């Protein structure tokens, strides 16, 4: 008996130190789907009719995509990718069974037959439950039964991985994923008992949510796999508006001011509302993944991996002036270590903070002073209700900028910077009218619809409100109306565009009601007066600054099936100069400055650090190696920070812990607008403007020296 007991203990130990398929199969036998006690979801008649209606409406889509076998293949692949993007749930045998539907989904959609799509979703739910039960069974045996001393690795980028062929292979993958999660929590300083409790709670919560899924959840996922083969902005919304793609928490609700979407098991940040609470706090960034939410400065952080998007949003929202803490895996962060915790004070986005604002600063160049005016435009806004009511003092971007231009004119500025960074767009009317402030007359933007009809927007008046030198500052989050304005300034050669490539959102959407829910679809495209589309490519600046955001993760070109960049016939317009003189010289002077700038050196170091981390797709499951890698990364990060602080004349941090604590305290402060001198990009835009002013002066004086 004692011998058998010893053998049993030895076997149990070996189960976690070896990687044989047999041992894994012994730990958790495969649970047949029919025994999982999951309700089989079936479509409704309303959903069937809505599907037929959608197919008919999408004939009006800008991109004329025929619904045939070729598009059926795309829908099939997109549906699988949406359900199981990391190929961890479905087995090869599941995919083989589904293959008979690969060329049938087009006909299913035309007739409203949703049976095959629901069959695939039900199988997916069964596999997810098997995964969760497997994890819970392993956790019952305790964290100490995992061997973190052996050399194992986990491939984190499984987008193109093969489907696992057997249950044993699948469970081997599941075990490694669980082991990585345990290791992350260990590296975050959590004890084994706490880890078991936390992960058990997480997986039980996910099981409960799995049982709460209904036919609307299944329907929404499938039809959006269909609609988004047209383009990323064509989307079905359920009657309850519980869409799993993006929820805007920005203007009317008290919260943090962020647009979120579901991605795999995570809640991903799409963008931050300019001047909103999260934007002011300065820590949360687009493409970050939220994995936990805590209330107050010391409330328990609730694990939200696998939660529905609307449930995560409810946790993040709250009363003004209260604190919410977000546990985040930063975009491009070190995959070997734990996440970060950011504290954000909830607030509403105030209209006055969304309004255009001005700044003024002086740059000294070779003994001469230049006054630089700045107008920051967070969004293209207009109070439609007040305007329609005939109120004389209604607020709008153009009206506010007119007033600011008059104020700057009194200051006798030598040039103007229009700051459109992070401006996600807004009113097309305002983009058109704002363009008109800087040109005397002419077309501003062209809109082409799905029938090929072209509508050209014109400058609404024949006057010009500012005719001096200008720089338009943009970045990857400058989108839509921002791109229309920046593109017009570039095409008229009215201003230098500086910064990085913009977002590339050059399409127009319309929302149409269905018998069941709504359909948002793309019906037109924007074009610049030069005939170039703003879609996909965005605006390429004249003077390139280092790009902060990874274009593979953020921007229209990062989205699957985004409509392409193209051109139409240019519309007649008269540029203000034959060309922007000496662009290469201006770029050279910019490059020389940033090579000596502590701010830009620090920015470039951060970018290099992040890009190096993004290349790492295979991580070690050996605790000692992970700890060493984490320590190395922290030392590298601390050295970067201290080098920057030293160059700026600030005290350095003695340890990485000191740095982390300082960053946490800083996030709790109300972040005021940075002085221009502390905003590296804005200050450099001013330098580029001064170079441009001097160049124009020398050309006018026939002086070749610069």
pLDDT band for 501, please (50, 70, 90 cuts).
very high
335-373 pLDDT tens trace: 555 678 888 998 876 655 678 999 999 999 888 999 999
pLDDT band for 241, please (50, 70, 90 cuts).
low
Q: How much is the mean pLDDT over the chain?
A: 87
Contact 12, 145 (CB under 8 A): yes
CA atoms within 13 A on the CB side of 698: 12
Q: Region 472-496: what's the mean pLDDT?
A: 97
What percent of the chain has pLDDT above 90?
65
pLDDT higher than threshold 90 for residue 11? no
pLDDT for the residue 668: 55
Contact 664, 671 (CB under 8 A): no
From the list 551, 620, 651, 540, the residue with the least C-alpha distance to 587 is 540
Q: Which of 58-72, 291-305, 324-338, 634-648 has the lowest mean pLDDT?
A: 324-338
pLDDT for the residue 175: 97
Q: Region 96-114: what's the mean pLDDT?
A: 97
467-476 pLDDT tens trace: 999 999 999 9
pLDDT higher than threshold 60 for residue 303? yes
Higher pLDDT, 645 or 37: 645
> Which token pair is 379?
């969004």
Question: Is 252-350 a CATH 2.30.42.10 domain?
Answer: yes
Contact 218, 236 (CB under 8 A): no
Q: Which of 27-36, 578-587, 641-650, 691-700 has the lowest mean pLDDT?
A: 27-36
Delimiting residues of CATH 3.90.226.10 domain(s) in the chain: 353-579
pLDDT band for 170, please (50, 70, 90 cuts).
very high
Q: Which of 128-137, 184-193, 454-463, 664-673 has the lowest mean pLDDT?
A: 664-673
pLDDT for the residue 19: 31
Tabulate helix, strand, coil % of the chain (nearest 5). Answer: 45, 15, 40
pTM: 0.86
364-418 pLDDT tens trace: 988 899 999 999 999 999 888 888 888 888 889 999 999 999 999 999 999 999 9
pLDDT for the residue 672: 55
Beta-bridge partners for 266: 263
581-607 pLDDT tens trace: 789 999 999 999 999 999 999 999 988
pLDDT for the residue 675: 86
pLDDT band for 12, please (50, 70, 90 cuts).
very low
pLDDT for the residue 392: 82
pLDDT for the residue 70: 97
The full 3-state SS of 495-538, as one line of letters, equals CEEEECCCCCCCEEEEEEECCCCEEEEEEEEEECCCCEECCCCC
pLDDT for the residue 299: 86
112-126 pLDDT tens trace: 999 999 999 999 999
Kindly give the pairing relationship between strand 340-345 and strand 496-499. unpaired
pLDDT for the residue 220: 92
Higher pLDDT, 199 or 9: 199
Q: Which of 24-28, 239-243, 368-372, 487-491 has the lowest mean pLDDT?
A: 24-28
Residues serving a catalytic function are 480, 491, 505
Q: Region 618-623: what's the mean pLDDT?
A: 95
Delimiting residues of CATH 2.30.42.10 domain(s) in the chain: 252-350
pLDDT for the residue 572: 95
For the chain, the straight-line distance linking the first and the last C-alpha, in angstroms and rounded, comes to 94
pLDDT for the residue 351: 55
pLDDT for the residue 29: 44
510-531 pLDDT tens trace: 989 999 999 999 999 999 999 9
Phi, psi angles (nearest 5°) of residue 458: -120, 155
220-231 pLDDT tens trace: 999 999 999 999
From the list 384, 693, 492, 393, the residue with the least C-alpha distance to 402 is 393
CA atoms within 13 A on the CB side of 394: 13
Residues recorded for the chain: 706
CA atoms within 13 A on the CB side of 49: 8
pLDDT higher than threshold 80 for residue 258? yes
pLDDT for the residue 23: 36
DSSP 105-166: HHHHHHHT--HHHHHHHHHHHHHHHHHHHHHHHHHHT-GGGS--SS--EEE---TTPPPBSS
Q: Region 432-460: what's the mean pLDDT?
A: 95
Backbone torsion region of residue 436, taken as left when φ is above 0, otherwise alpha when ψ lies between -120 and 50, otherwise beta? alpha
pLDDT higher than threshold 90 for residue 448? yes
420-438 pLDDT tens trace: 999 999 899 999 999 999 9
pLDDT for the residue 223: 97
pLDDT for the residue 32: 52
pLDDT higher than threshold 50 for residue 273? yes
> Which token pair is 431?
């983009």
The full 3-state SS of 278-336, as one line of letters, equals HHHHCCCCCCCEEEEEEECCCCCEEECCCCCHHHHHHHHCCCCCCEEEEEEECCCCCCC
Superfamily classification of domain 353-579: 2-enoyl-CoA Hydratase; Chain A, domain 1 (3.90.226.10)
CB atoms within 10 A of CB 525: 21
20-70 pLDDT tens trace: 232 333 333 445 544 567 889 999 999 999 999 999 999 999 999 999 999
Contact 481, 425 (CB under 8 A): yes
Instruction: Please give the Cα distance from 539 to 601 (Å, whole number).
Output: 25
Instruction: Please give the Cα distance from 117 to 42 (Å, whole number).
Output: 10
Kindly give the pairing relationship between strand 470-474 and strand 415-419. parallel
Per DSSP, 65 falls in state -
pLDDT band for 188, please (50, 70, 90 cuts).
confident
């Amino acid at each position: 008996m004692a011998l058998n007991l010893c053998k049993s203990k030895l076997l149990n130990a070996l189960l976690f130190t070896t990687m044989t398929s047999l041992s894994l199969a012994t730990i958790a036998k495969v649970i047949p789907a029919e025994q999982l006690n999951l309700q089989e979801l079936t479509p409704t008649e309303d959903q069937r009719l809505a599907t037929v209606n959608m197919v008919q409406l999408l004939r009006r889509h800008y991109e004329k995509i025929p619904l045939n076998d070729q598009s059926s293949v795309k829908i099939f692949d997109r549906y699988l990718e949406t359900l199981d993007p990391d190929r961890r749930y479905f087995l090869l045998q599941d995919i083989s069974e589904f293959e008979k539907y690969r060329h049938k989904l087009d006909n299913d959609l035309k007739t409203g037959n949703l049976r095959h799509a629901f069959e695939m979703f039900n199988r997916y739910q069964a596999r997810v439950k098997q995964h969760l039960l497997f994890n819970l069974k392993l956790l019952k045996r305790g964290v100490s039964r995992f061997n973190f001393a052996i050399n194992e690795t986990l491939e984190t980028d499984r987008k193109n991985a093969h489907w696992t062929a057997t249950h044993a292979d699948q469970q081997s993958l599941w075990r490694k994923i669980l082991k990585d999660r345990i290791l992350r929590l260990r590296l975050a300083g959590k004890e084994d008992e706490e880890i078991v409790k936390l992960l058990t709670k997480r997986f039980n919560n996910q099981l409960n949510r799995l049982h709460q899924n209904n036919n609307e959840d299944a329907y929404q996922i499938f039809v959006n796999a269909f609609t988004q083969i047209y383009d990323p902005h064509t989307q079905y919304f359920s009657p309850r508006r519980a869409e799993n793609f993006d929820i805007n928490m920005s203007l009317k609700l008290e919260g943090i001011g962020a647009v979120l979407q579901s991605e795999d098991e995570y809640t991903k940040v799409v963008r931050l509302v300019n001047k909103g609470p999260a934007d002011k706090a300065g820590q949360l960034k687009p493409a970050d993944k939220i994995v936990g939410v805590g209330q107050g400065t010391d409330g328990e952080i609730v694990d939200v991996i696998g939660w529905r998007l609307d449930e995560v949003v409810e946790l993040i929202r709250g009363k003004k002036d209260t604190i919410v803490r977000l546990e985040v895996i930063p975009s491009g962060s070190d995959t070997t270590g734990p996440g970060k915790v950011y504290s954000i004070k909830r607030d509403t986005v105030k209209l006055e903070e969304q309004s255009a604002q001005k700044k003024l600063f002086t740059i000294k160049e070779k003994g001469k002073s230049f006054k630089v005016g700045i107008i920051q435009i967070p969004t293209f806004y207009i109070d439609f209700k007040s305007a329609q009511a005939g109120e004389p003092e209604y607020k709008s971007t153009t009206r506010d900028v007119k007033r600011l231009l008059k104020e700057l004119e009194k200051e006798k500025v030598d040039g103007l910077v229009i700051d459109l960074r992070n401006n996600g767009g807004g009113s097309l009317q305002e983009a058109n009218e704002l363009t008109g402030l800087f040109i005397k007359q002419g077309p501003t933007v062209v809109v082409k619809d799905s029938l090929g009809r072209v509508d050209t927007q014109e400058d609404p008046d024949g006057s010009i409100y500012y005719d001096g030198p200008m720089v338009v500052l943009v970045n990857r989050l400058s989108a839509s109306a921002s791109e229309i304005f920046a593109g017009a300034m570039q095409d008229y050669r009215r201003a230098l565009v500086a910064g990085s490539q913009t977002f590339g959102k050059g399409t127009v959407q319309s929302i149409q009601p269905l018998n069941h829910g709504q359909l948002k679809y793309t019906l037109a495209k924007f074009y610049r007066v030069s005939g170039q589309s703003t879609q996909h490519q965005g605006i390429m600046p004249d003077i390139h600054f280092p790009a902060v955001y990874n274009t593979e993760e953020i921007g229209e070109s990062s989205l699957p099936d985004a409509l392409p960049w193209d051109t139409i016939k240019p519309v007649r317009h008269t540029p203000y100069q034959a060309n922007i003189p000496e662009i290469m010289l201006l770029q050279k002077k910019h490059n020389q400055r940033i090579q000596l700038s502590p701010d830009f050196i620090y920015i470039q170091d951060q970018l290099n650090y992040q890009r190096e981390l993004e290349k790492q797709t295979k991580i070690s499951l050996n605790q000692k190696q992970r700890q060493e890698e984490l320590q190395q990364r922290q030392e590298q990060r601390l050295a970067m920070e201290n080098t920057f602080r030293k160059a700026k004349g600030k005290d350095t941090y003695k340890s990485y812990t000191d740095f982390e604590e300082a960053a946490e305290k800083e996030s709790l402060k109300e972040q005021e607008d940075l002085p221009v001198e502390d905003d590296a990009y804005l200050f450099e835009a001013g330098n580029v403007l001064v170079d441009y002013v001097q160049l124009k002066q020398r050309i006018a004086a026939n002086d070749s020296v610069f």
